Structure formats: structure tokens, C-alpha cells
């Protein structure tokens, strides 16, 4: 006969907190898609000739701005300012998605590939979210591997800014999909097990991962199945 397991007040409080963080994370993540879409629409109609004129310098400046914005969000994650900074960040991320979308739309099947990339990203996220929230395994042991993986990826990204090797770009895109998927699983699992208690920080991590999966998947699809007009 199995003994009854009584939930103590402390355990109940922890469970309520974890559910609230997860709920707020999903809600804020949904909101971030609005400025992203608006930014992407604006970005597809902008002239990025200044980036094409100096791709190395513009890429390095862009990376510095992005990491600066993420640092600012993390510094203000315990205040409402963190939410506004995050929404501004997602708008900016949508804008800088413009050049990739412009390239995609120059293909005869570009719109379809964008839809496939978006659908694939959505299915990937929902599958990872369901697994991470229901598994009894604690994925905290992945932290060191993910940290090393992100560092290696950043080094590869910076290196390819100078090398401009298509094969390396494809490899980086594939690696981004893998690492970003693991980060989503790790972050959601961390919330469920009480390791992550700040929904702004969690949303930032998951958002960047979703963004990377979409852009990387679209890059791969364009390289493999894109049809020039």
C-alpha cells in the first residue's frame, strides 16, 4: 500500500512560485513576438547598404550592441524596466532580421521557406517545452556543456565574419539549432525545478534561442532548397 504524500506549506509555496514564473515566461514570450514581427516588417523595407559596404565592421558593432542590450536587460531583470528593455530588444532583433528576410524573399520559393522555418521553429519549441516541463530529470548538469558550446559558437561566428566561408556558415547554423534547442530545454526545466526564478531572464534566454533556431533553419533551407528568381 502506497503511503499518502502530503504537500507541506513550503513545498506548496515553491510549486506556486514555479508555476507563476513559467506562466509569466510564456506570457511575456508571446508578447515579445509582437515587436519582433513589427520590427521584421520594417526591416524588410529598409536599405541595409551600409552593412553591405562594411560587413565586418557592421557585424562586430551589431554583436556589441546586442550583447550590450542583453546585459542591460539582465541588470534590470527585477524591475519593470527590464520588460521594456526586453521589448525594445525584440523589436531591434526583428529589424535586423530584415536582411535575411530580404534575401529569402528574393527567391521564388522564399515565402514558403520562411513559413516552413517558422513552422519548424514552432514545433521544435512546443516539443521541447512539453518535454522539459514534464520530465522528472533535472537538466542542470547541461549548464557547463551549454556554456562551452555558446563560447565556441561565438568564436566561430566572429571567425566567419572574416573568413566568409559558406560551408562554415552552414555548420554554424546547424550548431545554433542544436545548442539553442538544448538551451530552451534547459531553461524551462530549470524553471520547473526551481533553478530559474526570474521570468524576464528566462524569457530573454528562450527568445534568443527561438530567434536563433528560426534564422539558422531559414539559412539552411535557403542554401539547400532555395530557388533563385
Question: Average pLDDT over the chain, rounded to whole?
Answer: 90
pLDDT tens readout for residues 148-157: 999 999 999 9
Kindly write down the DSSP assignment for every residue of the chain, as one continuous string.
-PPP-PPPHHHHHHHHHHHHHHHHHHHHHHHHHHHHHHHHHHHTTS--HHHHHSHHHHHHHHHHHHHHHHHHHHHTTTSHHHHHHHHHHHHHHHHTTHHHHHHHHTBTTHHHHHHHHHHHHHHHHHHHHHHHHH--S-GGGGHHHHHHHHHHHHHHHHHHHHH--HHHHHHHHHHHHHHHHHHHHHHHHHHHTTS---HHHHHHHHHHHHHHHHHHHHHHHHHHH--B-
pLDDT tens readout for residues 105-133: 999 999 999 999 999 999 999 999 999 98
| pLDDT > 70? residue 7 | no
Per domain, the residue ranges of the chain are 12-225
**Average pLDDT for residues 156-171, to the nearest whole number?**
89
pLDDT tens readout for residues 27-71: 999 999 999 999 999 999 988 877 777 878 888 899 899 999 999
Instruction: Check residue 173 and give its pLDDT.
Output: 95
pLDDT tens readout for residues 179-228: 999 999 999 999 998 889 999 999 999 999 999 999 999 999 999 987 77
Amino acid at each position: 500500500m502506497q503511503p499518502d504524500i502530503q504537500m507541506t506549506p513550503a513545498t506548496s509555496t515553491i510549486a506556486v512560485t514555479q508555476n507563476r514564473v513559467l506562466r509569466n515566461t510564456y506570457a511575456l514570450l508571446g508578447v515579445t513576438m509582437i515587436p519582433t514581427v513589427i520590427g521584421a516588417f520594417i526591416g524588410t523595407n529598409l536599405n541595409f547598404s551600409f552593412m553591405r559596404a562594411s560587413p565586418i565592421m557592421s557585424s562586430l558593432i551589431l554583436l556589441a550592441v546586442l550583447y550590450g542590450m542583453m546585459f542591460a536587460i539582465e541588470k534590470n531583470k527585477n524591475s519593470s524596466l527590464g520588460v521594456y528593455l526586453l521589448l525594445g530588444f525584440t523589436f531591434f532583433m526583428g529589424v535586423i532580421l530584415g536582411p535575411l528576410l530580404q534575401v529569402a524573399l528574393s527567391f521564388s520559393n522564399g515565402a514558403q521557406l520562411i513559413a516552413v522555418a517558422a513552422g519548424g521553429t514552432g514545433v521544435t519549441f512546443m516539443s521541447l517545452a512539453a518535454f522539459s516541463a514534464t520530465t522528472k530529470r533535472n537538466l542542470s548538469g547541461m549548464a557547463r556543456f551549454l556554456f562551452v558550446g555558446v563560447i565556441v559558437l561565438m568564436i566561430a561566428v566572429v571567425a566567419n565574419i572574416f573568413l566568409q566561408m559558406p560551408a562554415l556558415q552552414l555548420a554554424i547554423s546547424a550548431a545554433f539549432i542544436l545548442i539553442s534547442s538544448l538551451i530552451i530545454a534547459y531553461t524551462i526545466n530549470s524553471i520547473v525545478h526551481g533553478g530559474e526564478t526570474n521570468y524576464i531572464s528566462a524569457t530573454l534566454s528562450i527568445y534568443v534561442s527561438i530567434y536563433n533556431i528560426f534564422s539558422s533553419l531559414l539559412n539552411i533551407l535557403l542554401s539547400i532548397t532555395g530557388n533563385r528568381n
